[in-house]
Copies of this chain bind each other. A is one copy, B any other.
Amino acid sequence: MPDSWLDLDPDAQFGPATLPYGVFSTASDPGPRVGVAIGEHVLDLGGTARALGAPFADTVAGPGLDALLAAGRPVWDQVRTALTAWLTDPVHADAVRPHLVDRSSVRLHLPFTVADYVDFYASEHHATNVGRIFRPDQEPLTPNWKHLPIGYHGRSGTIVVSGTDIVRPTGQRKPPTEPAPVFGPSVRLDIEAEVGFVVGTPSPMGESVPVDSFADHVFGVFLLNDWSSRDLQAWEYVPLGPFLGKSFATSVSPWVVPVAALEAARVEQPAQDPEPLPYLRGTRPWGLDLRLEVRLNGHVVSNPPFDQMYWTAAQQLAHMTVNGASLRTGDVFASGTVSGPEPDQRGSLLELTWSGKEPLRLPDGTERAFLEDGDEVVITATAPGPGGTVVHFGEVAGRILPAR
């Protein structure tokens, strides 16, 4: 990976090996447009492509990533190749420099139109912990868990970009001590640290997408916080699954890291036993060595390791379409909570505090079982890039507002 002609801090986020896509606006130009993060800058991609006469200029000229997502892998490769040249070959410096904006000055937006949203449940450690907590009298993993990646549809309309405040949800919960459900603000508000994937290339109804076609359909990767109300969820989720306990908000990081930036992060996933059915087997590994960090009010409370996920995103995509369900540009699917084997690798407060029984003691002297009003959660991640570089995912942040 050549260096950039930009004077980049080597420890800063978003070196030339990442080149994530986002949508930004500025105070002086409030129209959302496509940008690429490079060091402390955002490159106005639409403006650069137009000025340099790139063949894909129209595809990146819109107010969001939708057209680029729909354009398919050959165009994704073409844009990334051009971006790499523009930002590393000094011959382009004079032409490109006018299209750089100070990253600290931009407002970031939801980068694409979300079609369907599917949330998986792919960490064996998370599913085992949750099973022990929610169903203490049963086997923690259901009999199907190691045969298929369990997933369900979430609410697309409440996916919001990092930085959006989260209003504490209200609803029904049934404390074990009460004879009937009570109504009011959730008292067990939680996070779920996840990794999200966005589909670019659609697939027709009636056809399935093989595991090995993952990179032809999935455009990029981002971080996701699937805010969860554990009290609403516990009362409602049998028999048809989580609904209001999840549907009030899901936050995503604003920078979409292209799948092409993650070649050096690909690792073998954990061994699968029993061997999955043939439609869930691929020829190349799609484990991804992302290291997540979860901060609560500035204090690191967890470091979930994504390489420990039992099911890969490629397996999830194949499973999601094996019944002939079509894919649309903008479909989002997420890993489910990323939890590792160690107590400080758990991706939810439910697990970190063992359902509130073992509150976290934060360095500022406060304790947390679940989230309190005013709390802020920030999730970040890194992955190995080429030649010892680091791929940064930016952050997904959100602060809790009191119930209305």
A residues apposed to B, CB below 8 Å: 115-118, 121, 131, 134-135, 142-144, 147-148, 150-158, 160, 167, 169-172, 174, 180-181, 183, 186, 205-208, 229, 232, 235-245, 247-249, 274, 277-279, 319-320, 322-328, 331, 401, 404
CB distance from A97 to the nearest CB of B (A): 39
Chain B residues in 8 Å Cβ range of A181: 144, 147-148, 277
Q: Is B249 a contact partner of A205 (Cβ separation < 8 A)?
A: yes
Residue of B with least CB distance to A238 = B142
Chain B residue contacts of A160, Cβ below 8 A: 205
A207–B404 alpha-carbon span in the complex (Å): 8
Q: How distant is A142 from chain B, measured CB to nearest CB, in Å?
A: 5
Say whether A158 contacts B249, CB under 8 Å.
no
Q: For A277, list chain B residues within 8 Å (CB).
A: 172, 181, 183
The residues of B that contact A172 with a CB separation of less than 8 Å are: 144, 147-148, 277
In the complex the two chains form, is A151's CB within 8 Å of B243's CB? yes
Are B241 and A242 closer than 8 Å at their CB atoms? yes
Residues of B within 8 Å of A156, CB to CB, are: 115-116, 156
Asked whether B404 lies within 8 Å of A324 as measured between CB atoms, the reply is yes
Given known pairs A167-B205, A236-B150, A238-B142, the reply for A244 and B319 (CB within 8 Å) is yes
| Cβ A248 vs Cβ B158 within 8 A | no
Once A205-B167, A205-B249 are accepted as A-B contacts, the answer to whether A325 and B229 lie under 8 Å apart by CB is no
Q: Which 7 A-B pairs have the closest CB atoms?
A: A241-B241, A169-B323, A167-B206, A153-B153, A152-B240, A244-B323, A240-B241
CA gap between A121 and B237 in the complex, in Å: 13
Closest residue on chain B to residue A278 by CB atoms: B183
Shortest distance from the beta carbon of A327 to any chain B beta carbon, whole Å: 7
Cβ–Cβ contact A325 & B248, under 8 A? yes
Contact between chains at B144 and A274 (CB < 8 Å): no
- A404 to B: closest C-beta gap in Å: 6
* Minimum Cβ distance to chain B for residue A113 (Å): 10
Can you report 17 A-B residue pairs in the complex whose CB atoms are below 8 A from each other?
A: A116-B156, A142-B239, A148-B235, A152-B240, A153-B154, A153-B155, A153-B243, A158-B205, A160-B205, A167-B205, A186-B323, A205-B248, A244-B322, A244-B323, A244-B325, A247-B325, A248-B324
